Amino acid sequence: GRLPARRELDARRPSERVPGRAALHLLSSSGCAHSADGLRCLLTAYSLYENRGWGGIGDSLHIKLARYSFLVGNHERCLAFFQKLFSDCHQPPPAQNSLLREFLHLAAQIAQTSAASSELVASCLPVPVIDQQSVRLFLASYDPSSGGEQKLWDSLQSRVLRQVSAPRSSLPSSRPVSVIQEYIYIEVEVRNPLQVPIQLTDVQLVCTHVPVDADAAHEREDSPRFLVEPFNHVLRAQEKQKLLFWVVPLVEGQLVIEGIGFKLCGMLWGQSNFINLHKCFVGGGGGGQLHSSTAGAGYSSLSASSSASPPASEPSSPADNNAIHVVGAMPLIEASFEHFPEQMLQGEVALLTLRLKNIGHMGLEGISVGISHPHFFLIGGDDSSAAAEVDDSM
């Protein structure tokens, strides 16, 4: 079994193009060769079949290359070929289910070899696919439970801010700033490329906290510095879904949101790190200028433009790119219109309710309301006297 493989390899120079018949000989020789020689045969044949759109041959090569790489101890290459296999697998669902179990078994053995191997497995899980272009960071201005009125309020708010704010080019660039006990939301789109469902457990944000005062940090070693809520989720076959995560900082300092952590099928810990959360900052009164983005998974959304701040001021390390500055308690108020009309007739009078909610942890006094069009609104209470006052003024 070893001599035919050796002769086939020695007969071809590396620079020559291997014809199809020779590649088939290499494939047949790899089955009876030693692990190292079989891997060489498969890699030579793979250079011919790669990116040709031949799904069945590609799947067979990916499976064999992953297995042989594991046998020779090349764990990084083994995980890489499993990623290629699951990204575009043409096998039927029963075969995909068997391949997934085989991957879980081999990856668990790799993770047990060393701490570095465990980190390698966590960063190279082939499923689910995390769309980095879909990552969005929201601070206090985002309310996931709000309805259609929130969109109208956001539109009105953006128009008012454009009139009273200076040009963004004249404003100093700033990183996202959060407040103690304020919710920070991360929205991410995940996709299951397989034709079988996958189970994710302990899904959560992976964060680290850097306190401002090192002495105070030693005093609070036993106290939590932030709160996250793990949850379980099942992705159906070839399902694509947006997931919403949150974290609540409890101590001042720098909160670094590294990425998303989860357990695949309850066995393997995986972690997908964010590239740059500052460019994904939406709303909250800071971050980059918002624009319509067509990148990512084929849907329109808001993203932060990289041109909002000069390149020289951008952080250089991944930890700085994903860091959020956490400050002490400050006044926080949330405003929303209830039953905002979409259409009105000329001369019609409608009652609007502006609901103010104190979402901070301190009392508020002396609240004032500013209106861009004072002749269109009359501020009053929610009783019948306010409507009568409007009628008298017409």
Q: Which residue among 285, 302, 327 closes a domain?
A: 327
Q: Identify whether residues 343 and 234 lie together within a single domain.
A: no
In this structure, the answer to whether residues 92 and 147 fall within a common structural domain is no
- The answer to whether 253 and 323 have CB atoms below 8 angstroms apart is no
User: Residue 22: its pLDDT value, please?
Assistant: 47
Alpha carbon distances (Å) from 70 to 62, 79, 99, 289, 332: 12, 9, 14, 47, 55
Q: What CATH number is associated with residue 183?
A: 2.60.40.10
Q: Per residue in 261-312, pLDDT tens?
A: 999 999 999 999 999 888 888 754 333 322 222 223 322 222 333 333 334 4
Tokens 């090349």 found at: 74
Considering the domain architecture, whether residues 322 and 344 belong to the same structural domain is answered as no
Whether the Cβ atoms of residue 153 and residue 357 lie closer than 8 Å to each other: no
Average pLDDT of span 231-251: 95
- Amino acid type, 330: M
φ, ψ dihedrals at 159, nearest 5°: -65, -40
pLDDT of res. 315: 47
Determine the pLDDT at residue 375: 75
Percent of the chain with pLDDT over 90: 37
Q: Determine the pLDDT at residue 282.
A: 78
60 in the same domain as 108: yes
Mean pLDDT over each residue of the chain, to the nearest integer: 76
Averaged pLDDT for residues 171-194 = 83
Q: What percent of the chain has a predicted confidence (pLDDT) above 70?
A: 66
Q: Are residues 94 and 206 in the same domain?
A: no
DSSP state of 17: P
SS (H, E, C) 28-48: HHHCCCCHHHHHHHHHHHHHH
| Cis peptide, bond prior to residue 128, ω within 30 of zero | yes
Q: Are residues 15 and 118 in the same domain?
A: yes
85 and 166 part of one domain: no
Q: Is the domain of 208 the same as that of 228?
A: yes
Q: How many CB atoms lie within 10 A of CB 109?
A: 13
Condensed to tens digits (0 to 9), the pLDDT of residues 10-38 reads: 555 444 444 444 444 444 544 555 678 77
Domain boundary, last residue among 123, 151, 178: 123
203 and 222 assigned to the same domain: yes
Q: Which domain holds residue 71?
A: 2-123
Where are the alpha helices (H) located in the chain, listed in sequence order? 2-10, 20-30, 35-49, 55-71, 75-87, 93-111, 115-123, 148-164, 214-219, 318-321, 384-393
Distance CA 82, CA 100 (A): 9
279 and 151 co-located in one domain:
yes
> How many domains in the chain?
3
Q: Which of 123, 150, 178 is the last residue before a domain boundary?
A: 123
pTM of the model: 0.66
Helix-strand-coil percent breakdown of the chain, rounded to 5? 35, 25, 40
| Statement: residue 174 has pLDDT above 60 | no
Pair (141, 287) in one structural domain: yes
118 and 44 in a single domain? The answer is yes
Give the C-alpha distances (Å, rounded to integers) separating 25 from 31, 46, 53, 66, 339.
10, 13, 21, 20, 73
Confidence of residue 216 (pLDDT cuts 50, 70, 90): low
The residue assigned the tokens 């860091």 is 323
> What mean pLDDT is predicted for residues 360-386?
74
User: At residue 167, does pLDDT exceed 90?
Assistant: no
